[in-house]
Amino acid sequence: MEKTGEWGRFFPPALSFDGYNDTLEQEYFPLTREAAIQQGFLWNDYMNPKVEGAKKIPADRLPEDIASVPDDILNWAIECAHDKKMFKIIPQELKFYRDHHLPVPHFCPACRHYARKDQINPRKLYSRACAKCKAEIQTTYSTDRPEIVYCESCYMKEIY
């Protein structure tokens, strides 16, 4: 691999089993279908089938208390409170909500994913001073954020 120049390089796109649009790469480095294919990536053109249920219910009409949710919710199509896409609850999911006394979500899985993603710090480093020793450190917390940030040695002293 060293002789051919492959050593230390990323795997070529041809070795991927997934379409570029099905990976996290598309979220951080978005490409159009044409650009991805031009660069040698696969693209998945599969469209999810339309979600249908015995009953269609807007998310805002779901009971807030999981004990009030009937078992036949598994047959319902729930309308997402954000993008109005229809989604269903699967048996394992309903069991999890009941076991943990959680309400049925009002947002489809994609909206929940993006809401979680929005809470992650950006993939960028900022220069800040350690709150204890004032040493210059690199962190994902920007200078306008209120979190207290320590260098590694001050952090270790604080916890141990």
Rounded average pLDDT over 110-138: 93
SS3 113: helix
Residue 85 — pLDDT band, cuts 50, 70, 90?
Answer: very high
How confident is the model over 12-48, as pLDDT tens digits?
A: 887 889 999 999 899 889 999 999 999 999 999 998 8
State the DSSP H helix or E strand holding residue 29, giving kind and residue range, or none if neither.
Answer: none
Convert 98-121 to b/e letters by CB count within 10 Å (16 or more is b).
Answer: eeeeeebbbbbeebeeeeeeeeee
